[in-house]
Amino acid sequence: MPLVPEASVRPGDPGEVARERSVDGWVLVADGGQPLGWLAVDRVGAQVDIADLALGGTLARQGGPLRAALDAALSSPSGRGVVVGDQGELLGTVRARDVIDVIEGSRGGSGVQDTPAPGVLP
């Protein structure tokens, strides 16, 4: 399961930059390389304001179980799960359908294996 590089903006960046970097109406806001939350571009004013962030999604850690990657994608308002490294730094994103494809491919005799996601490994 490949990680997709995710463009991000910082708090205080111009709203136009957020709109340019958005995908499907959402842009990731990060500070110091660490994700803070998703911003719907229809909420962007003159600049990126953390008060406008959609919070509540989960993060998946690099090398973590597929379940965590799927949960991150499903709980994200953008439909893209954020994958972070050991220090919480943004590595990229995954979509639920890509995680499900990996899960389907890893089914064994007893069901889904809870193995680290390929492409999310160190």
Q: Domains in the chain, start-ordered, CATH in brackets?
A: 8-105 (3.10.580.10)
- Strand pairing partners for 8? 28
Distance (Å, rounded) from C-alpha 10 to C-alpha 14?
9
CA distance 51 to 24: 21
Beta-bridge mates of residue 103: none
Q: What digits encode the pLDDT tens for the residues 53-108?
A: 998 778 999 999 999 999 999 999 999 999 999 999 999 999 999 999 998 887 76
- Tokens linked to 100: 């499900």
E strand intervals along 1-122:
8-9, 26-31, 34-40, 59-61, 80-84, 90-95
pLDDT at 29 over 60: yes
Structure tokens at 73: 């994608």
pTM to 2 decimal places:
0.82
Cα-flanking dihedrals φ and ψ of residue 34, to 5°?
Answer: -105, 125
Note whether 77 and 40 are within 8 A (CB).
yes
**Residue 24 identity (one-letter amino acid):** D
Tokens 């960046």: give the residue: 13
